[in-house]
Amino acid sequence: MARIELQNIAKNYGPVEVMRDINLEIEDGEFIVLVGPSGCGKSTLLRMIAGLEPITEGEFRVDGRRMNEVQPRDRDMAMVFQSYALYPHMDVARNMGFSLEIRKAPSQERADKVRDAAKTLGLTSLTARLPKALSGGQRQRVAMGRAIVRDPSAFLFDEPLSNLDAALRVEMRLEIARLHQRLETTMIYVTHDQVEALTLADRIVVLNAGKIQQVGTPLDLYERPANRFVAQFIGSPTMNILEVEPTDKGVLLKDGTVIGISPGAERPVACDLGVRPEHLNIVPQGSAHFSGKAELVEHLGSDTNIHAHVPSIGQVLVRQHGHFPLKTGDPVHIALELDKVHLFAPDGQRLDTVLGSG
Amino acid sequence: MTARKITAPGIPRARPSFYLRYMVEPYVYLSPALVLIALVMLVPLVIGISYAFQSVNLLRPIETGWTGFDNFRTLWSDRKFWLALTNTFWWTAGSITFQFFLGLGLALLLNTSFHGKRLVQALVFLPWAVPTFLSALTWAWLFNPTIGPLPHWLAALGILPEPFNILGDPNLAMWGPITANVWFGIPFFAITLLAALQSIPGELYEAAEIDGASAWQMFTKITLPFLAPMIAITVMLRTIWIANFADLIFVMTGGGPANSTQILSTYIFTTAFRKLDFGYASAIAVALLGLLLVYAAVLLVLRRKLVKI
Ligand SMILES: Nc1ncnc2c1ncn2[C@@H]1O[C@H](COP(=O)(O)OP(=O)(O)OP(=O)(O)O)[C@@H](O)[C@H]1O
Ligand SMILES: [Mg+2]
C-alpha cells in the first residue's frame, strides 16, 4: 500500500537532460499507466521510482516520506524489467521465488506461491527449466511471475506483455486487472499498447521528450486532450489535424469552408483543427463540409477506413462503422461532428472554443 | 589414379569403392599438425616416462638398462620423497589459497568505479611482468634482516620475537617463497576474475536489489555462480603450475634449510642435475604427474556438478 508523490523530478545523464518538471501524485491502490513514444523516459521514470537510477532533482515520496536516498531493497517495490533480467543460472521456479528465498520464507510457503504464480501465468510445466531454454514470451511471463509472488507496496511493470501473442496478451491483461482488484496495490505500468493503456488504467500519464503532457482518465485523454501531441498519441487511427485560419465568424478551412463558432463564444486564435476519424461522416453532398476522392478504402469488417484526398486540405481519414460500400476513386462528401472537434493554438495547447453552426 | 567425373554440388562424391579414401583423407590434411604435436610433445613425454623404468645415472654409465619398478620401490621408502610431497602440498595449498582470495578481492575492488582506476589496474598487473628470478632475489633480500625491512616490521608487529631471517628457520622457511609466490600470482587471478566479473550483466544485480538481496546475498547468489566456471579452471591451472614451479624456491632457499622447503619439482631438479640420476628423477616426475592428473580429474567432475551456466 503506497501513496506515491513525485515533485519537480528531473533527471540528467551527465550533461544530457532526459526528464524535467515531473509532478505526479499517485493515490494508494491506483493503477497508473505511462505511455509515450520510444525514448521519452518511461523506463527512466520507473527506474527512478524503483531506486535503480539516482534522481537528479526533486523529491520522491512514499506515504509522505522522502525516499530519494533509500536503497532499492528497502523500497519494497516489485518490478518487471523491460529486458526481463532473469537469473540465467536459476530454474524458473527459483527465479520466481528468489525474493522469498532472500526473505528466508518457509520453503512450503515459497513453493505454494511459486506454484500459484506459475499456474496463473501458464508456466506450470516449465518450472524446472533454465531461462535459456524458454521462448521470449515465456521468459517475459517468468519475469512477471517474479513480481507477482510478492506482496509489495507497489508494482512497477515495464512493458510486461510486449512479447506475447495477441491472445495471450489479452489473457494476461485480464490477469493483471484481476491481480489489481484482488491486492488493491498501487501499480505503475508502462506500455505501448493503447488498448492495454485504456482498459487497465485508472489514470494515464502521457510523456513526451521527458515531460508530462497530460494526466487523466482514459476518457479525459480521449475527449479532452490537453494538446496536439496527446490528441494524436491517444486513439487509433490517429486524429486528423487540419490547418485552419481564425475569422470573426469561426474558423476558415484551407478550401474556403467556414465553420462557425457557437453564438456568444469568443473569436478563436486557432491554427489547427483536430478531429478523430470516427467523428467524420460520409454524408450526402448537400450537408457536407468538404468533398474529396477516396484514395484507399480499408474494409476491416467491424469498421471501414476511408483515406480521402480533399483538394487544398490534404489527406483525411474517415472511419465509418460496419461495412461501408465505397470503392477507391469514388467521390466522398465529408461532414464533421462539430461537438467532437478540437482546436489547438499555434503552440499546440488546447483551446476551449466550441464550434457550432453559427 | 584414374580420372574422375567432376561432380556437381549436392551429388554425393563417395561411392562405396572410395569409402576408405574418404576415411583417410581428413587425416592426410591433419598430418602436419599431428606430426608436429607428436614430435614436440608426445615423444619427449614418452621418453621421459620410459626413463622412470630404467636406470639412467650419468655417474654410473655402465649400469644402464631396464629395471622395471625398481625406481618406484626406492621412491616408496624414500623419506625425502615423502617430505618433499608434504612440502609440495603446503607450498601449493598455501600459495593458491592466498593468491586466489587476494586476487578475488582485488578483482572485486577493480570492478567498482573509482578515480584513477586505469592507473591502478596497470600497476596491479606489474608483478606479472617481473622476471621470476629477479622477484625471487628481491624477496630473498627483503627477508634478510641486514638489508631488508621485513623482519624488522614483523618483529615490530610482534609476529616475530626478534628480527631474524625466516628463510633460515626450518619451521618458517616455506613462508618466504609462499609470500613471494602470492605477490607474483595475484595479478593472474585478478585479471581472469575481473574479466569474468565484467561479463556479468549489471541488470541481474538490479533485479536482485529489487528482490531485496543484500550485498552479501548478491555476492553468493549471483557473483559466485557466475564466477564458478572461471574459478574452477583457473584454480586447476594454477595448482598444476604452482606444484611444478621451482624457480622461486630454488633461488630463495635452494630447498633448505634441512630440506624444509624441498618440493617435488626442486627435488626432481636436484636429483637430475646435481646427482645426475635421470631415472630416479623421472620416477618422481611420473608420481607428480599421476597426482596432478587425479587432482585435475576430481576438479573437472566437481565443476560439472556445480556449474550450471
Ligand atoms: N545511461 C544513459 N545515458 C544517457 N542517456 C540515456 C541513458 N539511459 C537512457 N538514456 C536516454 O534517456 C531517454 C529515456 O530512456 P528510456 O529508456 O526511459 O526510454 P523509454 O521511454 O523507456 O523508451 P522505450 O519505450 O523505447 O523503452 C532516452 O532518450 C535515452 O536515450
Ligand atoms: Mg523503456
Give residue-wise pLDDT tens across range B214-259: 999 999 999 999 998 889 889 988 999 998 888 888 888 877 788 8
When mean pLDDT is compared across A94-98, A335-339, B14-18, B130-134, the lowest value belongs to: B14-18
Please list the residue range(s) of chain A that carry CATH number 3.40.50.300.
4-232
State residue A351 phi and psi, 5-degree precision.
-110, 140
Average pLDDT over residues A264-275: 75
Angle at B87 between CA B86 and CA B90, to 5 degrees: 90
Contact A52 B309 (CB under 8 A): no
Helix (H) or strand (E) segment spanning residue A306: strand A303-310
Are residues A344 and A274 in contact, defined by beta-carbon separation less than 8 angstroms?
yes
Please tell me the residue having the least CA distance from ligand 1 atom 31: A39
Q: Give the per-residue pLDDT at B16.
A: 56
Instruction: Label residues B147-172 b or e (16+ Cβ within 10 Å = b).
Output: ebebbeebeeeeebeebbbbbeeeee
pLDDT at A357 over 60: no
In sequence order, the 6+-apart residues with CB closer than 8 A to the CB of A353 are A261, A265, A266, A268, A270, A343
3-state secondary structure A154-223: EEEEECCCCCCCHHHHHHHHHHHHHHHHHHCCEEEEECCCHHHHHHHCCEEEEEECCEEEEEECHHHHHH
Q: What part of A 179-218 touches B (C-beta under 8 Å)? A: none
Contact A102 B225 (CB under 8 A): no
Atom of ligand 1 nearest to the CA of A40: 21
SS3 category, A12: strand
When mean pLDDT is compared across A41-45, A123-127, B276-280, the lowest value belongs to: B276-280
What percentage of chain A exceeds 90 in pLDDT?
63
What's the gap in Å between A207 CA and the centre of ligand 1? Answer: 13
List C-alpha distances in Å: B280 to B72, B78, B181, B200, B290.
Answer: 8, 11, 28, 49, 15
Whether domain A238-351 has CATH 2.40.50.140: the reply is: yes
**Residues present in chain A in total:** 358
B218: number of Cβ within 10 Å: 19
pLDDT at B17 over 80: no
Who among A73, A86, A89 is closest to B213 (CB)? A73
pLDDT at A163 over 90: no
- The pLDDT tens digits of the residues spanning A312-350 come to 888 999 999 999 888 898 999 999 998 888 988 888 888
Bond prior to A277 in cis (omega within 30° of 0):
no
Please list the residue range(s) of chain A that carry CATH number 2.40.50.140.
238-351
Nearest-angstrom CA–CA distance, B29 and B37: 14
Interface test with A, best of B205, B210, B306 (most A CBs within 10 A): B210
Which of A191, A104, A91 has its CA nearest to residue A146?
A: A91
Q: Using pLDDT thresholds of 50, 70 and 90, give the confidence band for residue B132.
A: confident
Bond prior to A237 in cis (omega within 30° of 0):
yes
- The pLDDT tens digits of the residues spanning A300-320 come to 989 999 999 998 888 999 999
Domains, chain B, with CATH or none: 16-66 (no CATH), 74-306 (1.10.3720.10)
What's the gap in Å between B274 CA and the centre of ligand 1? Answer: 70
Q: Please give the grid coordinates belonging to residue B78.
A: 624414500
Nearest-angstrom CA–CA distance, A23 and A286: 49
Nearest-angstrom CA–CA distance, B268 and B277: 9
Q: Using pLDDT thresholds of 50, 70 and 90, give the confidence band for residue B193.
A: very high
> Does A88 lie at the interface with B, CB-CB under 8 angstroms?
yes
When mean pLDDT is compared across A29-38, A253-262, A286-295, B47-56, the lowest value belongs to: A253-262
Q: Using pLDDT thresholds of 50, 70 and 90, give the confidence band for residue B4.
A: low
What's the gap in Å between A276 CA and the centre of ligand 1? Answer: 30
Contact B210 A79 (CB under 8 A): yes
Nearest-angstrom CA–CA distance, A290 and A296: 18
Nearest-angstrom CA–CA distance, A78 and A176: 14
Average pLDDT over residues A261-289: 82
Q: Give the per-residue pLDDT at A255.
A: 78
**Residues present in chain B in total:** 309
Contact B209 A77 (CB under 8 A): no
Which of A5-9, B229-233, B274-278 ranks highest by mean pLDDT?
A5-9
Q: Give the per-residue pLDDT at A18.
A: 93
Atom of ligand 1 nearest to the CA of A47: 18
Computed over every residue of chain B, the mean pLDDT equals 85
Quick one: closest CA in A to B306, which residue?
A89
Q: Which amino acid is at A344?
A: F
In sequence order, the 6+-apart residues with CB closer than 8 A to the CB of A151 are A183, A185
pLDDT at A240 over 80: yes
Average pLDDT over residues A243-258: 80
Radius of gyration of chain A (CA): 24
Nearest-angstrom CA–CA distance, A333 and B62: 119
Q: Give the per-residue pLDDT at A358.
A: 45
Q: How far is A122 from chain B (nearest CA, A)?
A: 22
pLDDT at B3 over 80: no
What's the gap in Å between A157 CA and the centre of ligand 2? Answer: 10
Pocket of ligand 1 (CB under 6 A): A 13, 16, 18, 36, 38-44, 82
pLDDT at A123 over 60: yes
Q: Give the per-residue pLDDT at B159.
A: 82
Q: Is A258 left (phi over 0), alpha (psi -120 to 50) or beta?
A: beta
Interface test with B, best of A89, A90, A130, A144 (most B CBs within 10 A): A89
DSSP A285: G
pLDDT at B1 over 50: no
- The pLDDT tens digits of the residues spanning B167-180 come to 888 888 888 899 99
pLDDT at A32 over 90: yes
What percentage of chain B exceeds 90 in pLDDT?
23
Nearest-angstrom CA–CA distance, A30 and A203: 8
- Taking the alpha carbons at both ends of chain B, their separation in whole angstroms is 52
Q: Using pLDDT thresholds of 50, 70 and 90, give the confidence band for residue A249.
A: confident
Q: Using pLDDT thresholds of 50, 70 and 90, give the confidence band for residue A22.
A: very high
Fold of A4-232: Rossmann fold (3.40.50)
Q: Please give the grid coordinates belonging to residue A40.
A: 521519452
Q: A with B: how many residue pairs have Cβ under 8 Å apart?
A: 55
